[in-house]
Structure 1
């Protein structure tokens, strides 16, 4: 039987176009996503 190699993630909207992304991998830190100005605040890579 094949081993499951997928993953899941959770997006939480912080404000506006800013999101925190959490993965089900313990070794991966949460990732902040944000749209560039003028839509967002350019706080992270955009999705």
Structure 2
């Protein structure tokens, strides 16, 4: 997993955490990625998106 945390964004977009990929179902690998995205978003008081 690549975590990018230094993208310059518009202020209204801050606090969003996104899992990007080609998800052909939620097998263990994909589920782990989604869970990590949710975990980081909660820690930072943000929103998670897939």
Report if TM-score (shorter chain) is over 0.5: no
Q: What is the TM-score of this pair, normalised by structure 1?
A: 0.28
Instruction: Mark the structure with the bigger radius of gyration.
Output: 1
Q: What is the TM-score of this pair, normalised by structure 2?
A: 0.28
Comparing both structures, which one devotes a greater share of its residues to strand? 1
- Structure with larger RCO (C-alpha < 8 A, sep 6+): 2
